[in-house]
A = this chain, B = another copy of it.
């Protein structure tokens, strides 16, 4: 958030992604049929039927051609659809329709495009999504910008707001795998076992959106707030706390970091905890539940979907801020830093 007046000539990079979003959306009009507007994973719109409409958009741009070096065209298409599916999942909704906007350099090959679209459509079909529209525009950089529409029963959308002090903080799956995968891709010289590289790279390149988990959590009715982890655990927990008006304390001991991730960190001379806290792109669901509901939530997701869920901390009063309890029991402030899509570096 900008704390001092900004000159019109200030660059948007200096302002940063979240500062820019705050500036662009300040004073945005609304309407009674807009149940949730800008600021959550999806908008929630009352379009007159029994089901509320969910709407989200997310773009994948291959500015540095990094994607093309590390992923197949199919994987790029799949990834672009998966990140949007994850936003619908994080509301507890059912994904339904996609509009696909393509940015295409004119020298791109048809074979590449065929692959991207194959991956994109396969991922859409896997989750019951129909591609209903789109747009093509010439551009210097290849990109896919998808708008995904979904549906959810009235009053069942799981928002970022709603977490209450005393709620348990839970997360699906494992953390830090995508960051580990990125590090290994950027450092091919590292001597890491092939099976570990494959698993961590897959976590980055082909994340699995937690759509059935989101649905189930919405139906259980025991979740007070939820979002998906795209910017990183600390940053996204910061978003949840900000929208809910609460603080939170994470327990380092409880974070679900796999043996593969720890092993890779060790071989790479990196800190697996850093990857888990600040890495981003995990696309797990982070949510809060009243303590009395925790056991049922964990058991239900485990039995119905075979999805591990872990309690990783607790929602605190707002004055407690965001903290991390280390293995030795000491508690220290947790910076809500993560991925800034404009600075392309860790922001404040």
Complex partner residue of A12 from B28, B106, B344, CB under 8 angstroms: B106
> Considering only CB atoms, which chain B residue lies closest to A108 in the complex?
B12
Asked if A117 contacts B24 (CB within 8 A), the reply is yes
Which residue of B has the minimal Cβ distance to A24? B117
Contact mask A54-88 → B, CB, 8 Å, 1/0? 01111101010000000000000000000000000
A194, chain B: closest CB distance, angstroms: 29
Assuming the contacts A57-B101, A110-B8, asked whether A136 and B47 have C-beta atoms less than 8 A apart, the reply is no
Where chain A touches its partner, the secondary structure class is: mixed
Q: Does A330 contact B (CB under 8 A)?
A: no
Taken together as a complex, chains A and B put the C-alpha atoms of A261 and B108 apart, in Å, by 38
The CA-CA distance from A15 to B114 in the complex, in Å, is 12
Contacts of A34 in B (CB 8 A): 97, 130, 132
List the B side residues contacting A45 at CB < 8 Å: 96-97, 132, 149
In the complex, the answer to whether A56 meets B133 with C-beta atoms within 8 Å is yes
Closest chain-B Cβ to A181's Cβ sits at a distance in Å of: 21
Q: Taking the nearest CB of chain B, how far is it from the CB of A147, in angstroms?
A: 4
> Which residues on B sit within 8 Å (CB–CB) of A139?
61, 63, 141, 143
User: Are B138 and A63 in contact, with the CB atoms below 8 A?
Assistant: yes
In the assembled complex, the CB of A27 is this many whole angstroms from the nearest CB of chain B, namely 9
In the bound complex, CA of A316 to CA of B124 (Å): 40
Within 8 A of B (CB), among A8-32: 8-13, 15, 17, 20-21, 23-25, 28-31
Contact in complex: A132, B43 (CB < 8 Å): yes
Q: Nearest CB to that of A9 among chain B residues?
A: B109
Please tell me if the beta carbons of B145 and A12 are within 8 angstroms of each other in the complex: no
Residues of B within 8 A of A292 (CB): none
Decide if A140 is an interface residue (CB 8 Å cutoff): yes
> B133–A11 contact, CB under 8 A?
no
Q: A11-B110, A12-B113, A23-B114 are in contact. Are A138 and B59 (CB under 8 A)?
A: no
Complex contacts, A125 vs chain B, CB 8 Å: 29
Q: What's the least CB distance linking A35 to chain B, in Å?
A: 10
> Residue A188 at the B interface, CB < 8 A?
no
When C-beta atoms are compared, the residue in chain B nearest to A51 turns out to be B48
Q: Are A37 and B140 in contact (CB-based, < 8 A)?
A: no
**B342:A138 contact, CB within 8 angstroms:** yes
Q: Are A106 and B11 in contact (CB under 8 A)?
A: yes
Considering the complex, which residues of chain A in the window 128-152 have a beta carbon less than 8 Å from any beta carbon of chain B?
Answer: 130-141, 143, 145, 147, 149, 151
Q: Do B8 and A103 touch across chains, with their CB atoms under 8 A apart?
A: no
With an 8 A cutoff between CB atoms, is A202 at the interface?
Answer: no
A257 cross-chain contacts in B, Cβ below 8 A:
none
Contact between chains at B106 and A136 (CB < 8 Å): no
Residues of chain B lying within 8 A (CB to CB) of residue A47: 47, 49, 51, 53, 96, 151
Q: Is A42 an interface residue (CB 8 A)?
A: yes
Which of A7, A15, A113, A133 counts the most B-chain CB atoms under 10 A from its CB?
A133
- Which one, B24, B48, B97, B117, contacts A43 given CB within 8 A? B97
Q: Which of chain A's residues 94-134 have a Cβ closer than 8 Å to chain B?
A: 96-97, 99, 101, 103-104, 106-111, 113-114, 117, 121, 125, 130-134
Contacts of A136 in B (CB 8 A): 17, 20-21, 341-342
Does chain B have a CB within 8 A of A38? yes
